[in-house]
C-alpha cells in the first residue's frame, strides 16, 4: 500500500517495509534512488505508471520524497477496453520481481473478442499481480481472466467477473487454414456434377482456405458436359460476419448469400452458391453446386437450393457444414490461479 501522504509521519522503517528491504539489512538513502534494485525505474516499453515516480533518480534523497509513493507499476482502465495482454502492458517489467497492478474503474468494461481472453497473463510473470476491479471483466468463448503464469492473480473489490461459452471459428479457421467442405445440390446436368480438389479424396466438394480475413473456395477438377474444365476459385468472404480482430461476430444476425455461375461448357454451367444464417442461436453454413445455371439458393423462410423446373434441396441445420467451420469455444470467469472471485 502507498506510503503516508504529506503532512503525516513517515519513517525510514516505512521505506524498509514498502520496498521489502528487510529490517536487518544495512541500507542508506542513496540505495532508494529510483532506478536501483529497490525502487525501480520503468522500462521504456512499460505502458503503466510508476507508483514511485516522484523518487529522485540522483542527488539527495529524503523522506519527503516518498510521501504517497508505492512500490509497483499500475495500469488503470478509465474507459472500455478489449483483449488485454498484461505482458504487453508492462513490457520488459513483466518478468521483473516488482508488483504489477491493474485497475478497472467503475462503469468500465474490459472484455474480449469472441475466443480471446479479456485479461491475459502469459507465462513468465514475476512479482505480485493484482486486479482492483470496480467495473466489469467479461469473456465470451474465452476467459475473463486467464492466468498462464506461475504467480497468483489476486482480484479485489466488488466488480463483476464473468465468462460464457460461445460459438466461434474452430482451430482450423481461427487463423489461416484450409479444410475439405462438401457440397449439396448436384440436381441435374448433361454429365455428373463432379467437382473436387486434389488435396483430398472423394468427390463433390471444395477446399475452403482462410488467409487473413479472406475466405476462398477452390477446386482442381470441374466436370461440365463430360469435360474437365480445370481448376478455379471464388471468394466467399461475404458470408462470414467478422469483427475487426477476425473473430466471428456473434452479434450479427443477418443472413448472407453469394452465388455465381463460374463457367460454361457445352450443355452445362458450374453454379456455385454459398449461404449463412443464424438458426436457434447458431450460425449455419451451406455450400451448394449444380451443373445448370438456372439454380438459386434462397434463405429466409424458403430455405432451398432449387433448379428451376427440376429438383429442390431443402436447407436446414442437418445439411449445414457449420461443424467443419465453427465450434463451441469454452469461456469462464477465470483460468489458472486467481483468488478473490
Pick from 158-167, 205-214, 308-317: least confident: 308-317
pLDDT band (50, 70, 90) for residue 11 = confident
- Verify that 91 and 153 share a domain, yes or no: yes
Are residues 84 and 34 both part of a single domain?
Answer: no
Interval 41-54 mean pLDDT: 96
* Residue 96 within any structural domain of the chain: yes
The verdict on residue 267 lying in a domain is: yes
Per-residue cell: 240: 462470414
Start-to-end CA span in the chain (Å):
21
Same domain, 1 and 98: no
Using the predicted structure, report yes or no on whether residue 207 has a pLDDT greater than 80. yes
Number of domains making up the chain: 3
- Residue 16 belongs to some domain of the structure: yes
Determine how many CB atoms are found less than 10 A away from the CB of residue 319: 15
Q: Residue 155 sits in which domain range? A: 73-163+328-341
Q: Are residues 181 and 319 in the same domain?
A: yes
Q: Which residues, at least 6 apart from 233, have a Cβ–Cβ distance to it below 8 Å? A: 216, 217, 218, 219
Same domain, yes or no: 277 and 230: yes
Nearest residue to 89 via CA among 67, 107, 104 = 104
Do the domain assignments include residue 50? no
Predicted structure pTM score:
0.77
Question: Confidence class of residue 189 from pLDDT cuts 50, 70 and 90?
Answer: low
Lowest-confidence region among 36-40, 189-193, 319-323: 189-193
d(Cα 278, Cα 280) in Å, to the nearest integer?
A: 7
Judgement on whether residues 159 and 200 belong to the same structural domain of the protein: no
pLDDT in tens, 222-247: 999 999 999 999 999 999 999 988 99
The verdict on 266 and 303 lying in the same domain is: yes
Residue 52 located in a structural domain: no
Both 146 and 199 in one domain: the answer is no
23 within a domain of the structure (yes/no): yes
Same-domain status, 29 and 113:
no
For residue 172, being part of any structural domain is answered with no
Give a yes or no: residue 168 inside a domain.
Answer: no
pLDDT digits (tens, 9 = 90+) for 256-302: 999 999 999 999 999 999 999 999 999 999 999 998 888 999 999 99
Residues 201 and 290 in one domain: yes
Instruction: Give 125-145 pLDDT, tens digit per residue.
Output: 999 999 999 999 999 999 999
Domain check: are 81 and 132 in the same one?
Answer: yes
| Whole-angstrom distance, CA of residue 310 vs CA of residue 1 | 78
Query: Does one domain contain both 115 and 40?
Result: no
- Which of 63, 66, 38 has the alpha carbon at shortest distance from 52? 66
Amino acid at each position: 500500500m502507498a506510503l503516508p501522504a504529506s503532512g503525516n509521519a513517515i519513517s525510514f522503517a516505512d521505506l524498509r517495509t514498502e520496498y521489502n528491504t528487510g529490517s536487518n539489512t544495512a541500507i542508506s538513502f542513496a540505495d532508494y534512488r529510483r532506478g536501483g534494485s529497490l525502487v525501480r525505474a520503468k522500462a521504456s516499453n512499460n505502458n503503466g505508471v510508476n507508483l514511485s515516480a516522484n523518487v529522485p533518480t540522483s542527488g539527495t534523497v529524503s523522506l519527503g520524497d516518498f510521501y504517497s509513493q508505492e512500490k509497483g507499476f499500475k495500469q488503470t482502465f478509465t474507459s472500455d477496453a478489449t483483449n488485454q495482454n498484461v505482458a504487453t502492458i508492462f513490457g520488459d517489467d513483466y518478468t521483473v520481481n516488482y508488483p504489477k497492478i491493474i485497475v478497472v474503474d467503475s462503469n468500465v468494461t474490459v472484455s474480449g473478442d469472441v475466443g480471446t481472453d479479456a485479461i491475459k497473463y502469459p507465462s513468465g510473470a514475476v512479482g505480485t499481480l493484482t486486479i482492483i476491479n470496480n467495473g466489469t471483466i467479461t469473456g465470451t468463448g474465452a476467459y475473463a481472466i486467464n492466468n498462464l503464469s506461475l504467480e497468483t492473480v489476486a482480484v479485489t473489490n466488488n466488480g463483476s467477473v464473468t465468462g460464457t461459452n460461445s460459438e466461434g471459428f474452430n482451430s482450423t479457421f481461427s487463423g489461416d487454414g484450409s479444410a475439405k467442405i462438401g457440397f449439396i445440390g448436384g440436381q441435374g446436368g448433361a454429365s455428373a456434377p463432379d467437382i473436387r480438389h486434389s488435396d483430398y479424396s472423394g468427390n463433390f466438394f471444395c477446399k475452403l482456405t482462410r488467409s487473413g480475413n479472406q475466405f476462398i473456395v477452390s477446386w482442381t477438377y470441374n466436370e461440365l458436359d463430360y469435360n474437365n474444365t480445370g481448376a478455379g476459385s471464388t471468394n466467399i468472404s461475404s458470408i462470414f460476419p467478422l469483427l475487426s480482430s477476425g473473430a466471428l461476430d456473434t452479434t450479427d444476425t443477418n443472413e448472407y448469400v453469394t452465388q455465381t455461375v463460374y463457367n460454361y461448357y457445352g450443355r452445362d454451367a458450374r453454379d456455385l452458391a454459398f449461404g449463412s444464417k443464424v438458426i436457434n442461436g447458431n450460425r449455419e453454413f451451406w455450400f451448394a453446386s449444380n451443373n445448370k445455371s438456372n439454380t438459386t439458393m434462397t434463405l429466409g423462410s424458403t430455405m432451398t437450393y432449387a433448379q428451376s423446373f427440376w429438383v429442390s434441396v431443402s436447407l436446414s441445420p442437418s445439411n449445414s457444414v457449420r461443424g467443419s467451420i465453427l465450434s463451441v469455444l469454452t469461456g469462464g470467469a477465470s483460468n489458472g490461479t486467481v483468488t478473490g472471485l
